[in-house]
Structure formats: C-alpha cells, structure tokens
Amino acid sequence: MNDLKNQESYTFYEDSAHGWLKVPFHELRYLNIVDDISQFSYMNQKNQDIYLEEDCDAPTFLKAYESNFGKVAPIKRVDCGEISFVRNLASYNKNYLLAFI
C-alpha cells in the first residue's frame, strides 16, 4: 500500500453549499477508519470511491493520513458549480462495500 503514501493528489469536489474529498475505499481500510465514516458521505458503488463530507469525514481521513505518513495529504480542488454530481451518489454504506471484498 506504499502507493497511498505516494498518491499524487486527492480531489476535493465542491458545489455552492458543500464539499467532498474523493478517496478510494481501500485507503479507508488501510488507514483503519472504515467504521469512522458517517452516512453523510457518499460512495460510487461501481468503483468504490468514497466522497468524504467536508465537516467530519474528510478531516478524519486527513488526520489518519498525516498520522500514518508524517505529511499532509495533497489535495486539488474542483468547483462543480451550483450542484455537484456527488449529491446523486448513494450514501456511504460500509457493509455494502465490505460485501465485495
């Protein structure tokens, strides 16, 4: 999982009201924070990308990342305009994702 430490950047999607940090599910597993993510985050069921909501879940990931690797996770921002596509994704459900492992 050394590729996690060398991740080029994570994408932070934001619309006019909120934002989400895109992180692959396997990275949440690696950092042992699967159970710490709330239902206020979203998931892409096809590729298991998780969109961590900005107020609680994204900070949980960022803190775990920095604690594990001793550096701040690189982030690039994407403005999605008025309403982000993220809002149309399914709510985060760890049991659904773990069923495919």
pLDDT for residue 32 is more than 90: yes
Max Cα–Cα distance, the chain, nearest Å: 36
Over pLDDT 70: what percentage of the chain? 92
Instruction: List the end-to-end C-alpha distance of the chain, in Å, as a whole number.
Output: 16
CB atoms within 10 A of CB 49: 16
Hey, where are the domains in the chain? 2-98
pLDDT for residue 2 is more than 60: no
pLDDT for residue 36 is more than 70: yes
